[in-house]
Amino acid sequence: MTLAPKAAKAPEPLPSGRAPAQAGSRPGKIGVMLVNLGTPDGTDFKPMWRYLREFLSDPRVIELNKAIWYPILYGLVLTTRPKKSGANYARIWNRERNESPLRTYTRAQSEKLAAALTDLPDVIVDWAMRYGSPSTASVAEKLVAQGCDRILSFPLYPQYSATTTATANDQLFRALMKMRAAPAVRSVPPYYAEPVYIEALAHSIERHLATLDFEPEVVITSYHGIPKPYSDKGDPYRAHCLETTRLLREKLGWSDQKLITTFQSRFGAQEWLQPYTDKTVKKLAKDGVKSIAILNPGFSVDCIETLDEIGREAAETFHHAGGEKFAHIPCLNDSAEGMAVIEAMVRRELSGWV
């Protein structure tokens, strides 16, 4: 007697609630999310307060015990700093769009990247902020709603730091923790030594210097600083910054006296990475240097720290100390050089998914 074959058992549902993909089934779309630091929604007290509260409450940014830090944050910092920071933002504010340049440039980068990837029809490009809006969570949810089952996150920080790259990744995974059917995720690694990045910086410097009516005696690569204890505990940021400058110096064929490294934007009383940009600029002028230029390789787009802190404050410091010629070299922004870096990194990290 011949027995009839047993019916195949239906596959068990996955823990996520999704049925396993059938043989030959087509995967979903891929989201590419450009992630920048963030920006306030306005220059008035309330939007500045909201932004600074979120930023300065991040334990990756301020590593003090909350019992010590929060009384300072809420009792002093958030009562005085929003007004001062708002005035600084007002000087650089994009009046036409009613937003900060950081948001304008990051959006432009996203739009240009989407146009550059039209040969990859299953890739959707968007942009988000770690602090402020559009939030990382809202953009991740939007990409999933558009059918993305994989997301490539691109923290727009060339040099890694726990205060920037790591906290951007943290925020994305917090969003995924709330999703029943979470997408697969990749993160673009730091690109501080990538040839395409060094080439872009060198070309940008040469192009800008060619427009000046003077040859700067010293060019400063000014990076956002971090507290020295963070570096002492193992944050590789300082080493990444120094390597970027070394490779850039090598590419340009300059000496270590011509291209130097400094760190800016220190906050609070503790020691930060040195040498400090403001003190270096002042000393150069006092020592008789009459012309300098400053660029910010650690910033993917121009923002308050580059346009106001360097473009205005550092320039004033240099001139008041006796300097004569000052130039601020713009960030890569959404320039052809800047977009070449972003596109190259994205295409490489999409390998195997497209």
Which CATH number covers residue 244? 3.40.50.1400
What is the average pLDDT across 323-333? 98
Our measurement of the distance from residue 71's CA atom to the centroid of its chain's CA atoms, rounded to an integer in Å, reads 29
pLDDT at 19: 41
The answer to whether position 354 is within a domain reads: no
pLDDT at 4: 47
What is the average pLDDT across 8-18? 46
User: Residue 118 belongs to what domain range?
Assistant: 29-191+336-349
Whether the predicted pLDDT of 20 surpasses 50: no
> Lowest-confidence range among 9-23, 127-141, 177-191?
9-23
Alpha carbon distance 332, 340 (integer Å)? 10
Task: Check if the beta carbon of residue 188 is closer than 8 Å to that of residue 152.
Answer: yes
What is the average pLDDT across 15-41? 73
Is pLDDT larger for residue 238 or for residue 268? 238
Q: How many Cα atoms within 13 Å fall on the side-chain side of residue 28?
A: 18
Eight-class DSSP state of 255: -
> Residue 224 annotated as binding?
yes
pLDDT at 268: 86
> Residue 203 annotated as binding?
no
Least Cα distance to 281 among 262, 257, 267, 300 occurs for 262
Task: Check if the beta carbon of residue 332 is closer than 8 Å to that of residue 341.
Answer: yes
* pLDDT tens-digit map of 282-313: 999 999 999 999 999 999 999 999 999 999 99
Task: Check if the beta carbon of residue 152 is closer than 8 Å to that of residue 33.
Answer: yes
Neighbours of 72 (CB within 10 A): 14
What is the overall mean pLDDT for the chain? 93
Q: Are residues 113 and 80 part of one domain?
A: yes
Q: What are phi and psi of 302, to 5 degrees?
A: -70, 145
The answer to whether position 24 is within a domain reads: no
pLDDT at 25: 54
Task: Check if the beta carbon of residue 313 is closer than 8 Å to that of residue 278.
Answer: yes
Strands 218-224 and 184-187: unpaired
Q: What are phi and psi of 244, to 5 degrees?
A: -60, -50
pLDDT band at 26 (very low <50, low <70, confident <90, very high): low
The answer to whether position 12 is within a domain reads: no
Number of structural domains the chain divides into: 2
